[in-house]
Amino acid sequence: MNLLICLCEIKNLLRERLLWLLIIITLFLSSLASYNGYQWLVTQNMVIKNAQNEQQQAIATAKKGLEKRLSLSKPINWWDDPYDLRGQAFYLMINYATKPPLPSATIAIGQSDVQPNFFKMLVTNKQSFINQYEVVHPLILLLGKFDLAFLIIYVLPLLLISISFNALAQEKQSGQLRILMLQGLSPLRLLFNQLIIRASIIILPLLLISVTTLLQFSNGISLLAVSMFICLILAYAAFWLALTAFVISYGKTSAYNAAVLVISWLGLVIIVPALLNTVIVTVNTAPSRIEYVDMLRDKSDNVDKSSSKVMAEFFQDHPELANKTLTNKVTGELDTNYSTKKIAKIVVLEKAMLPYDDAFQTVLMAQQRRAEQFSYLSPATILQNALFNLSGNGLIRHQHFIEQVMLHHKALRYFYQQSILIAHQRGDFNPCEGCIAHVTLADLSKVPKFIYQEQRSSTPISGVVVLLLFSGVFIFKASSRLSEMNRSQGGNIVA
């Protein structure tokens, strides 16, 4: 019986021009979204490759020019000297911290267009580099890119609604439904078969294009990621189909159904997420960045004004460095050089700014937690969360990257402060009056390098489960209504 209904439905659909139009639209949009995702992956990889090449190039150039530098006798500015630890630390260092995209990054561009995937490191306070960003036209960020996530979250429900809102309507209008029901066919079975056939027309081309592109072009993508992606699409489609069945089960006109479904789409995909975001941001208000600037300036001034206090605080935290520092024979005070003072100021400033930096982090994490809690209010937010995390372009992976960048920042600072102190002790920076400084950093490859450690990410299975649960509820409700209609046989829908 099911096969017969499906064949009949396919026959009916083939007669409609709309069918072919929808297939073409789905194929076109899926190809475009997959292409955009792939292009983005290529761009991201290229940026990282360029950064790594630049870093390697700097090491190679320094190696090549070492002999020439060693032969120099006339003094040169240390801030222009790539073989001087101080010049490298504060001005010349080419050292990048990069976050490689996951192979599944083609699924969702996510936050990767607003969060930088590389930082150029220097020994400076973290506030100077952590706010770096990729300059693009801001409208691109506002409107976003047309990727698979956008296609699935926004367009897929519209395509599903447009092909299925009038299911059962034709049979009802022509009076066929009554005859079919008298022959023992339940409207429930007819509707579900119709919906499955119609949805397949949209979902199959979408899956065909997107999965093929993922397997073909996303080198190294795991089968688990692909399976999860498929599950998410199917669960999301199931939600919209179940909702459609629920609306249709009320037995109103197809125009009414279409209007209700579009309003539902508007509410669930546009209004609820935007409203949720506004509420979350209002309830957990982030501190002001403008006031942060004010605070940063004040703390900076304090650090600059109380130099001796800063040094004392610094050496209290780093007694191992105090031991290496020369003591002035006349004053008995620690003979600190410019670079050590500069590093000490950076350390103390960062320490002073820590509560303010933490405040942003705490609020951001609280907002994210709340967003995850309330994401169950809309299928769109459930899916966005799942797709962003699956693609590795969500907030969590970025936070993990930032944590590693901070560790690298500390490692670089430690490397330079130790090396500078040793060089200072040896008198390498000022071997004699009017002499050129000794080479203090002959091999740039000894400078710590950043290696991104991938964090094990959780599979967004809960998203699938919740979407299926909602679908189950709608299907149950629709089944109850349609069964009731089937029992009465002469209900409103048939009349």
Kindly state whether residue 250 participates in binding another protein, applying the rule CB under 8 A. no
Encode burial over 374-397: b for 16+ CB neighbours within 10 A, e otherwise: bbbebbbbbbbbbbbbbbbbbbbb
What would the x/- binding string for another protein be over residues 278 to 307, using CB under 8 A?
A: x-xxx---x-xxxxxxx--xx--x------
CB nearer to another protein: give 249 or 384. Answer: 384
| Rounded Cα gap, residues 236 and 361, in angstroms | 32
Q: Which of residues 81-110 bind another protein (CB under 8 A)?
A: 96, 110
Contact 337, 424 (CB under 8 A): yes
CB nearer to another protein: give 52 or 459. Answer: 52
CB nearer to another protein: give 385 or 440. Answer: 385
Contact 398, 99 (CB under 8 A): yes
Q: Which of residues 22-61 bind another protein (CB under 8 A)?
A: 36, 43, 46-47, 50-51, 54
Shortest gap between Cβ of 371 and another protein (angstroms)?
A: 5
Shortest gap between Cβ of 274 and another protein (angstroms)?
A: 5
Q: Which of residues 321-340 bind another protein (CB under 8 A)?
A: none
Contact 117, 394 (CB under 8 A): no
Task: Candidates 19, 66, 196, 262: give the one binding another protein (CB under 8 A).
Answer: 262
CB nearer to another protein: give 28 or 476. Answer: 28
Shortest gap between Cβ of 324 and another protein (angstroms)?
A: 29
Write out the two tokens for 389: 């995390």
Shortest gap between Cβ of 202 and another protein (angstroms)?
A: 15
Q: Which of residues 342-371 bind another protein (CB under 8 A)?
A: 360, 364, 367-368, 371
Task: Candidates 104, 244, 249, 384: give the one binding another protein (CB under 8 A).
Answer: 384
Q: Which of residues 431-470 bind another protein (CB under 8 A)?
A: none
Q: Which of 355, 395, 346 is nearest to 126 (CA)?
A: 346
Shortest gap between Cβ of 254 and another protein (angstroms)?
A: 6
Cα 443 to its chain centre, rounded Å, is: 36
Three-state secondary structure string covering 119-149: EECCCCCHHHCCCCCCCCCHHHHHHCCCCHH
Residue 301: burial class (beta carbons within 10 Å; 0-12, 13-18, 19+)? exposed
Q: Is 327 helix (H, G, I), strand (E, B) or coil?
A: strand
| Rounded Cα gap, residues 358 and 402, in angstroms | 13
Kindly state whether residue 258 participates in binding another protein, applying the rule CB under 8 A. yes
Looking at 138-222, list the stretches that DSSP marks H as alpha helix, in order from N- to C-terminal side. Answer: 138-143, 148-150, 156-164, 169-174, 176-182, 187-217
Contact 322, 312 (CB under 8 A): no
CB nearer to another protein: give 320 or 433. Answer: 433
Q: Which of residues 142-161 bind another protein (CB under 8 A)?
A: 142-146, 150, 154-155, 158
Q: Which of residues 113-142 bind another protein (CB under 8 A)?
A: 114-115, 118, 120, 131-142
